[in-house]
Amino acid sequence: MTTISGITFDQHDYDDRGDVLYLSIGDPQVPAETLPTPEGHAVDFDSDGKVIGMVLVNVRWLMERDGELRITWPDGHVSHDDPASVLARAA
């Protein structure tokens, strides 16, 4: 599990070749709306406006370069430890 800004994502899939981390709450589903972040990530919402998933791009590269993954939405940043544990298992 990965928690970002108080939201726990229990499903994850990391595409090593594209350096993209897909996170979802429960089984992945088609979002009603997807909003981009200024950093180029995407946040997926259901029809009630609840977060159901995120797509984080250049995850490993950004963490190696910056030591953390910045996400403007919903607030702040993610510590290195949150996605690092998922990436370590995927390698």
Q: Where are the domains of the chain?
A: 2-90
Q: Which amino acid type is present at position 66? A: D
- List residues bridging with 8 in a β-sheet: 3
pLDDT digits (tens, 9 = 90+) for 35-74: 888 899 999 988 888 889 999 999 999 999 999 888 886 5
- 56 contacts 69 by C-beta, under 8 angstroms: yes
pTM over 0.85: no
Which of 71, 41, 82, 73 lies closest to 58, judged by CA? 41
* pLDDT at position 24: 96
CA Rg, the chain, in Å? 12
Q: Quick check: helix, strand or coil at residue 82?
A: helix
